Amino acid sequence: RRHWSRAPLSGAPLAIARMWLARARKRRAFSKMVRGIVDQNKRTACEICGRTPEKNNIKLTCHLARRGEPDLTAIDRLIAEFEELYGVNELEPQLWKAYFRAHAEYCTRCSMCEDSMAQERLLQASKAPGPSRITRPQDISSDEEDDMVDFDPVVVTRTSPEGRMMSKWLVAARKKLGGAFPRPDARKQMEKYAQKLRELKMKKARGAVQPTAEELAKDPIMKELQGETANVTAATKALALRWIRLARDVMESKFKYRSETFREDVDTLLGMMPEEDDWYFGAALRLEGRDLLVKGAALEDDRRTLEAEAAVKVHKIERDLEGHLVDRQAELERERKLFNTKLAQQNDKILLDIEVRRGELEKLKELRKKEFMAEERKAREEMGAAPTEMIQSHRNQLLAIDQQMLDEQHNTEEYRREEDAQAKIMFDRAELIKLAEMERRKALASENIARIRQEVTQKVKAAEAEWQSGTAKWLAVARRKVQVKNKEDEEARAGKRKRKGGK
């Protein structure tokens, strides 16, 4: 030791020393807290030999046990389980005592049994090391089973103080274990440990090189993929927005329900922690719960006030939107009725024009028919008979007038249909524009309502989330203490009834 360096520790040795010192201090403090509980569980006779202090003049000692046998590491196991359940930073004495009462095992030994067991341990330790002693599984620690922090590999030179200390320990350990070194599986164990270190290093490297959102946005491949999937229709966008709003509403409802549940639980537990029981629960815990309850009620009042103000704004937006939609819908109905009336009037006018034109052509046909008959009669008087060419010409002219009536009627009706179709197309386009404007107004109103509700949520959620976090921790401690207190009271009542019955 006189060759050891006096320089202050740093790096990994300092971290190891601090971790060991913190664990040692915590073990000593926790052991002192439960020393009285261990003494209370001491039996009246030794559990091995049955000796009692009155008859045999011996001293009884209560030990922590595991499966009925004394276990020096039982306190370490209980502390580790307590830290796993409540966290490493939990130092509440009453909570630790309650956990210890619920999970500790005890055994009572007399001084004579203690001396005999101590002699056996000394005899076992005094055996000379060598091949005759086979290495047991518990003599070799496993790195995978140690509850310790993983440190980076450290290179230590043999001539340094640390190297000389480690070499001395290694020689003593090999001498104690005995046998040939290195062991046959030493290389395999070394390779396994090296592989573990490499995997840990690769895991850290993967986390460091994982691309961020900005890097993904600058990636040309991602840009191309984004460009391919960016074709979103209006209906898809509307569905996505609706889903997002519904999801937010569900999350907000769950958040509010959690706050309500916490307030009810705090109120219930405070009712189970009267002021006269401050000797057990502690006045600080009760007052902290009362402060949490008051703060929760204040947060709920703030939320209700903000929600009432938001409800007024939302009602105004919805009322304006409803009035606007009613006016626009009435306007659309008036325009459609006016359009249909105008279209019917135009159709009636065209039909009237067709009938007038048809009457004119009928009159023209009758007039020509009379002229042709007069010409044919004159020809028969002069020539004795009307020429065939004249009769055929007259007949063709009359047929031409009939065909003209049909063609003009068909053309006029076709023109009317085309004009009607074009007018309907233009009217439908104008109507779609107005309907789209109504939908846009609805979407704008929905966005405004969602924005107002989101503002309310943001104003109260930060403080309420902090309150929920503190309340959850208080509830865990208080609920456990209440359960332990109820259990102890029930055991005390049962013992009292038993004693009364015994009397």
What's the confidence (pLDDT) of residue 503?
44
226 or 376, greater pLDDT: 376
- Using 50, 70 and 90 to split pLDDT, how confident is the model at 147? very low
What's the confidence (pLDDT) of residue 211?
62
Mean pLDDT, residues 383-395: 81
475 or 139, greater pLDDT: 475
In 94-134, at which residue ranges do the beta strands (DSSP E only) sit? Answer: 106-110
By C-alpha distance, which of 459, 442, 453 is closest to 312? 453
What's the confidence (pLDDT) of residue 302?
87
In DSSP notation, 298-357 reads HHHHHHHHHHHHHHHHHHHHHHHHHHHHHHHHHHHHHHHHHHHHHHHHHHHHHHHHHHHH
CB count within 10 Å of CB 477 equals 21
119 or 336, greater pLDDT: 336
Chain centroid to CA 250: 12
In a 10 Å sphere around its CB, with 0-12 CB exposed, 13-18 middle and 19+ buried, how is residue 441 labelled? middle
Q: Give Cβ neighbours of residue 474 (< 8 Å, ≥ 6 apart).
A: 266, 285, 288, 289, 292
Mean pLDDT, residues 271-300: 86
Biggest alpha carbon–alpha carbon distance for the chain: 177
Q: How far is CA 230 from CA 218, 222, 474, in A?
A: 16, 12, 48
Q: Which of 143-157, 161-175, 262-276, 372-386 has the lowest mean pLDDT?
A: 143-157
In this model, does residue 137 exceed pLDDT 60?
no
What's the confidence (pLDDT) of residue 139?
54
Contact by Cβ (8 Å): 132, 110: no
Collapsing DSSP states into helix, strand and coil, what is residue 473? helix
Rounded (5°) CA angle 153-154-159: 150
What's the confidence (pLDDT) of residue 232?
66
By C-alpha distance, which of 305, 249, 266 is closest to 468? 266
What's the confidence (pLDDT) of residue 145?
45
209 or 145, greater pLDDT: 209
In this model, does residue 144 exceed pLDDT 50?
no
Determine the Cα–Cα distance for residues 172 and 161; give it in Å rounded to an integer: 17
Q: How far is CA 397 from CA 55, 361, 379, 406, 411, in A?
A: 154, 12, 18, 15, 21
Determine the Cα–Cα distance for residues 158 and 170; give it in Å rounded to an integer: 12
In this model, does residue 133 exceed pLDDT 80?
no
Contact by Cβ (8 Å): 129, 173: no
What's the confidence (pLDDT) of residue 213?
61
In this model, does residue 128 exceed pLDDT 60?
no
What's the confidence (pLDDT) of residue 220?
57
Q: Give Cβ neighbours of residue 95 (< 8 Å, ≥ 6 apart).
A: 86, 477, 480, 481
Mean pLDDT, residues 423-432: 88
In this model, does residue 502 exceed pLDDT 70?
no
What's the confidence (pLDDT) of residue 69?
82
Tokens 């999350």: give the residue.
251
Mean pLDDT, residues 463-474: 87
What's the confidence (pLDDT) of residue 148?
46
Contact by Cβ (8 Å): 398, 368: yes
Q: What is the dihedral of CA 185, 186, 189, 190, to 10 degrees?
A: -150
In a 10 Å sphere around its CB, with 0-12 CB exposed, 13-18 middle and 19+ buried, how is residue 67 labelled? exposed
Question: Phi and psi at residue 270, in whole multiples of 5°?
Answer: -65, -35
Contact by Cβ (8 Å): 357, 349: no
What's the confidence (pLDDT) of residue 210?
59
In this model, does residue 2 exceed pLDDT 50?
yes
- Using 50, 70 and 90 to split pLDDT, how confident is the model at 273? confident
Question: Phi and psi at residue 109, in whole multiples of 5°?
Answer: -125, 145
What long-range pairs does 276-279 form, CB within 8 A, spacing at least 24?
Answer: 277/485
In this model, does residue 484 exceed pLDDT 70?
yes
The percentage of residues in the chain with a pLDDT greater than 90, rounded to a whole number, is 3
By C-alpha distance, which of 369, 448, 365 is closest to 406? 365
Radius of gyration of the chain (CA): 50
Q: How far is CA 211 from CA 164, 224, 480, in A?
A: 45, 17, 44
Tens-digit pLDDT profile for residues 4-57:
777 777 888 888 888 889 889 988 998 999 888 888 888 888 888 888 888 888
Give the chain's length.
503
Mean pLDDT rounded to a whole number for the chain: 81
| pTM, 2 dp | 0.41
The single-letter code of the amino acid at 34 is: V
Determine the Cα–Cα distance for residues 215 and 222; give it in Å rounded to an integer: 10
Mean pLDDT, residues 194-209: 74
In this model, does residue 183 exceed pLDDT 50?
yes
In this model, does residue 309 exceed pLDDT 70?
yes
In this model, does residue 136 exceed pLDDT 60?
no
Q: How far is CA 425 from CA 1, 114, 165, 419, in A?
A: 103, 106, 97, 10
Q: Give Cβ neighbours of residue 89 (< 8 Å, ≥ 6 apart).
A: none
Q: Which of 191-195, 320-324, 479-483 has the lowest mean pLDDT?
A: 191-195
